[in-house]
A and B are shown apart, each in its own frame.
Chain A
């Protein structure tokens, strides 16, 4: 995180973004949400394997055979002939990549036909297995799309469960299965009246309801012997044997098949498909489809597979960025601790260093706060005559320059120019400066008496070209102010320590920064090519071979935006300016001089200030996805862990800064609004950069509400 000066210098003619890009982004996000919903509903809501365990009330179809069609008055009836010594093996819930091939292998080995009742969502995920089953002459049946209890669904959803499975099988195998096995069904005697009504409703559309004669309950893994026993007829009448090739571990089913088939053959039973058993011609049981109907099925399968691929790809991205964010937090914690120890050692060995300093204050319409700011600068605990204050009035219309002049303070100069923007004002002030060290301060920022002394002290090291001060939020009374306060304390007391230790400080904030004149000369001055001139010049100084460090005791109190609109504007400019600066200095990545500033700062900015926020919405989207479709407990645990880690970081940062930890209660709330605002800003900025639109400074309304910390002059 960085803190830059708010002194908007230019008016804001337009943001320049074509209005269409938000519509495009919104539409694509809406489709992404729909895609996730479809993927979730079609895969994550699949019911567990299971069968009825006997009806508590008398089944209305107890005396029927297990292949039924719609009867009069919303009932089911069976007109199929006696089964004789024929057995139809059936397999529900598949296809499964793990177990269906094993089942098929056994059936092939014994040359046994069978009927597979497919779950539509499973078929979409394993189309190759469906084709293989069909090609090998196995019969295909419909077992709903997500394996729900059909009796518990409203009519339209029941129809959709059957229709989508039919569409999927049509698209994959080119047939519409007429046989439907309702999930959680067993034998006709086990059917509840409500189930019969629901199944009759399905049968009305021309489907045949295929229940079972022998319910093996193999899904509960009762043991190979129990499965074989349950599938074996007691007399000479065969029937339909219900087994499962998916929905769990099916090793017992596969083993039972190997025993069951020879045993039944030895007793004179013959294996057939369900349609053969019921006397239904094969072309009626698997109605061929072609033309548009098949294309429609293929479309459904293709769209669902796209949803699956996209979801898997996004899942990988989410895991990667989550891991990256967590690693960064741990890294920051460790490195910041090292920095604190280094600073303590440095402070113990320090000798006073009080060079001549020129303080440059660029100001455009800062009438509200300029008096207090200049007063605080003039009251610095610094040898008189060793510092001057240059206020550059950048075309103010509110009398900012006049206010400063009326103060009539010693060592304070006012320069006036037509409104040319903050970088131009800084250049003007720097050019007029008399001293070799420059301090830049925003017009709404208040110094503590010891700030100047602490800020320039690191210049005693001749290799230091620029120094970042510690910006404090002066208006932290509101929730928005507290959030920004937490953000500032963490950014300045953790991130900047890491930057210094890695020698890759990306930004000396506009609110409070110090520069060696020679470093500025080497950097080519302060450019107006980006909206984050502070990041731009800091990267340039780093690339020129100077060290940029952080002075934690150099505190400056500033006013942060107090409205969401103001915050949006400020952060939009920061984010866009950061992207501009990183792009402008992209050549530093391959700098043959091997400056750390380029090699480390730019990838860091790109990764953690652009890419991470850019993909952050996915984390929120997947959190919702997990809560709706998966077990919400892991995501809740993850959320708690993430917030816990964040809280630890904040706790440590507040400790380093000597701040009260009371505002930390607002931290979890940040996840609900503030974070979303921040990533929307980055997305918007990136779009602006891609489109090449003109983005000007946005003026942020000032109230002058800056509370300086206890014991500090204001």
Chain B
């Protein structure tokens, strides 16, 4: 048996490495952390905006004002006249409809919406 207690063997290391080198990636000053934090928050913000955008976009269309189906020939005046009266009374929703109706109607009672129908049947 040969047991050697060798606390101070004094052997010189043949290489530079001592095993106590500065760790790769270590950023003691926290510069990278400060740089990346806004990026992380930006990612969270982007994700949150998407969720909010989706939620806002997908909700809130709660229906239309009631439809008054009318007999062709007297349709526009029948619809617009009472709405104008309602608008004068100040109901915001009917005022909007009345304004829109006024804007969209021609004197002959036909719609004047852009695109109203260039492909209308010419037969």
Contacts and interface: CB of A to CB of B under 8 A. Distances in A.
A281 B9 contact: no
A18 B75 contact: no
A197 B68 CA distance: 20
B121 A271 contact: yes
> Considering the complex of A and B, which 10 residue pairs feature the smallest CB-CB distances, nearest first?
A692-B27, A300-B57, A205-B63, A423-B19, A424-B19, A525-B15, A525-B17, A206-B64, A137-B117, A31-B47
Question: Which of A134, A271, A423, A691 has the most C-beta atoms of chain B within 10 angstroms of its own C-beta?
Answer: A691
A42 B62 CA distance: 20
Given A410-B1, A529-B24, A296 B9 contact: no
Contacts of A688: 25
Contacts of B64: 176, 178, 205-207, 287
Interface in A246-267: 265
A422 B19 CA distance: 7
Contacts of B23: 528-531, 580, 694-695
14 contacts: A27-B47, A78-B69, A79-B69, A170-B61, A205-B64, A281-B75, A296-B57, A299-B56, A408-B1, A413-B3, A424-B20, A427-B15, A527-B19, A694-B23
Interface string B31-50: 11100110011011001101
Interface string A520-539: 11011111111101000000
Nearest to A537: B17
A420 B47 contact: no
B90 interface: no
B57 A301 contact: yes
A283 B15 contact: no
Contacts of A580: 23-25
Given A31-B47, A414-B6, A20 B40 contact: yes
Contacts of A421: 19-20
Contact of B57 (A138, A299, A523): A299
Contacts of A338: none
A81 B72 CA distance: 7
Given A24-B44, A137-B118, A280 B15 contact: no
A394 B64 CA distance: 79
Given A135-B115, A688-B25, A690-B36, 5 more contacts: A27-B48, A283-B100, A409-B1, A417-B7, A426-B19
B19 A69 contact: no
Contacts of A527: 17, 19, 21
A137 B4 CA distance: 99
Contacts of A112: 119, 121
A21 B40 contact: yes
A123 to B, nearest CB: 13
A359 B12 CA distance: 18
Interface string A417-441: 1001111111110111000000000
A280 B67 contact: yes
A431 B24 contact: no
Nearest to B104: A283
B116 interface: yes
A334 interface: no
Nearest to A266: B123
Contacts of A408: 1, 3
A297 B57 contact: yes
A71 B19 CA distance: 86
A714 B22 CA distance: 39
A279 B21 contact: no
Given A524-B17, A692-B30, A176 B113 contact: no
Interface residues of A, number: 121
Contacts of B121: 111-113, 270-272
A24 B20 contact: no
A185 B59 CA distance: 26
B62 A691 contact: no
A242 B77 CA distance: 31
B56 to A, nearest CB: 6
A653 B105 CA distance: 82
B19 A280 contact: no
Interface in A73-108: 78-81, 107-108
A164 interface: yes
- Could you say which of A301, A523, A583, A690 has the most chain B C-beta atoms within 10 Å of its C-beta? A690
A365 to B, nearest CB: 18
Contact of B32 (A107, A288, A690): A690
A432 B6 contact: yes
Interface in A27-86: 27-28, 31-32, 34-35, 38, 67, 69, 78-81
Contact of B123 (A18, A67, A265, A301): A265
A521 B15 contact: yes
Interface centre among A270, A528, A583 (most CB of B within 10 A): A528
A284 interface: yes
A279 B117 contact: no
B15 A163 contact: no
Interface in A289-345: 293, 296-304, 306-307
* B13, B16, B19, B100 pick with most chain A CB within 10 angstroms: B19
A300 B123 contact: no
B17 A304 contact: no
Interface in A160-210: 160, 162-164, 166-167, 170-171, 176, 178, 204-208
Interface in A627-675: none
B69 A206 contact: no
B9 A432 contact: yes
A303 B57 contact: yes
A306 B50 contact: yes
Contact of A691 (B14, B32, B69): B32
A584 interface: yes
Interface in B47-85: 47-48, 50-51, 53-54, 56-72, 75-76, 79
Given A529-B23, A583-B24, A405 B32 contact: no
Interface string A523-562: 1111111110100000000000000000000000000000
A167 B1 contact: no
A273 interface: yes
B69 A694 contact: no
A274 B27 CA distance: 69
A253 B1 CA distance: 98
B118 A136 contact: yes
A412 B2 CA distance: 7
A446 interface: no
Contacts of B19: 420-427, 525-528, 533
Nearest to B24: A580
